[in-house]
Amino acid sequence: MSMGILNLDKNRKTIVGVGSALVDLLAFEPDAFIESLGVQKGGMQLVDSSGMDTLISKIQSPPVIVPGGSACNTAIGVGRLGGRARFVGKLGRDHFGEMFAAGLKDSGVEPVLFVSERPTGRVLSVVTPDAQRSMFTFLGAAAELSPDEVTPDCFQDAAVVHVEGYLLYSRELISAVLSSAREAGALVSLDLASFNVVNENKDFLQEIIQEQVDILIANQDEAKAYTGHEDGDNALKTLSEGVEIAALKLGPGGSLISHQGRKTVVKAMGTGYAVDTTGAGDLWASGFLYGLVSGFSVEKSGALASACGYEVCQVVGAGIPEKGWRCIRKLL
């Protein structure tokens, strides 16, 4: 028996996020801070432990600390929407790891967490006055998630396995995730994560998208890096090649979604004003995937995605408060 446009077994409703178990450290700094580091604003840079300590020593005030990681944020969003959610990742035996695991359970997410002797990973998200966030990532224990650990059992009864593009830095791992998801009978959703990730892994990325991805999600910068097109329609056309569904997020411009050659235009919600864009794409994916797995149309799934993306931009960090979730649930 099938359900909605994805032709899923009606008994499969779990959305499983796979990615880096990270704690977000949110800091607000002027543009000059990013310029002084010599990096492009809006991207993601990998750093080691000492590099992270150096960056934290340079920020003006203590950072706000919240559970994070792209696929984790998406799983938490699904859980808060009332969906069945699971997260697969690896963390350390430390306070940050305990905080991370507790955050999953509080949000209704089933944890499948492996443990390392290395410290739990951290991301310093530097938010500039335009609400853009630039990320500096120390993977820590997250980098030790092994291909041998991610088996089909992790994806039992999964409708969709949602993979963050950051896993492309470990090609053996992402290959294991994709093959195990397939073996378990789940569809695969891939978020391209960052233009840096796309630029550094383009050939491999094209290979896995053509062969093993069903749902592809990208923002404008990522889509341009992958397709070479700045124009939304042309970028969407290239993104949709070889996949069932392609979604192009346009920020305040809404989104474009392609399904079986048909383009759907989804309007953005609200005024477009953002306090902080941390987690915007992750929570957009929460709403979109929850909608698809629930049997909603592309249009309604896109509208739910826009609502989640809008509400998370009204607060600092990737956690939508209960007031925001009440507004989102009205769409359901």
Domain ranges of the chain: 16-21+70-119+144-329
pLDDT of residue 280: 92
Reading the block at residue 278, the tokens are 């941390």
pLDDT of residue 1: 32
pLDDT of residue 2: 40
> Phi-psi bin for 80: left (phi > 0), alpha (psi -120 to 50), beta?
alpha
Positions in the chain whose pLDDT score sits under 50: 1-3
pLDDT of residue 272: 63
> Phi-psi bin for 317: left (phi > 0), alpha (psi -120 to 50), beta?
left
The secondary structure of 98-156 as a DSSP string is: HHHHHHHHHTTEEEEEEEESSPPEEEEEEE-TTS-EEEEEE-GGGGG--TTT--GGGGT
pLDDT of residue 133: 87
Assigned CATH for 16-21+70-119+144-329: 3.40.1190.20
d(Cα 107, Cα 122) in Å, to the nearest integer?
20
Provide φ and ψ at 44, rounded to 5°. -135, 130
pLDDT of residue 4: 64
Per DSSP, the chain holds a count of helices (H) and strands (E) of: 12, 14
pLDDT of residue 323: 93
- 69-111 tens-digit pLDDT: 999 999 999 999 999 999 999 999 999 999 899 999 999 999 9
What are the helix (H) ranges across 16-89? 31-37, 49-58, 70-80
Q: 327 CB contacts (<8 Å, ≥6 apart)?
A: 307, 311
Neighbours of 172 (CB within 10 A): 10
pLDDT of residue 79: 97
Q: The whole model's pTM is what?
A: 0.90
Helix axes 95-106, 70-80, angle to 10 degrees: 30
Per-residue buried b or exposed e for 24-37, using 16+ beta carbons within 10 Å of the residue's own CB: bbbbbbeeebbeeb
> Parallel, antiparallel, or unpaired for β 255-259 and 262-266?
antiparallel
Residue with tokens 């004003």: 273
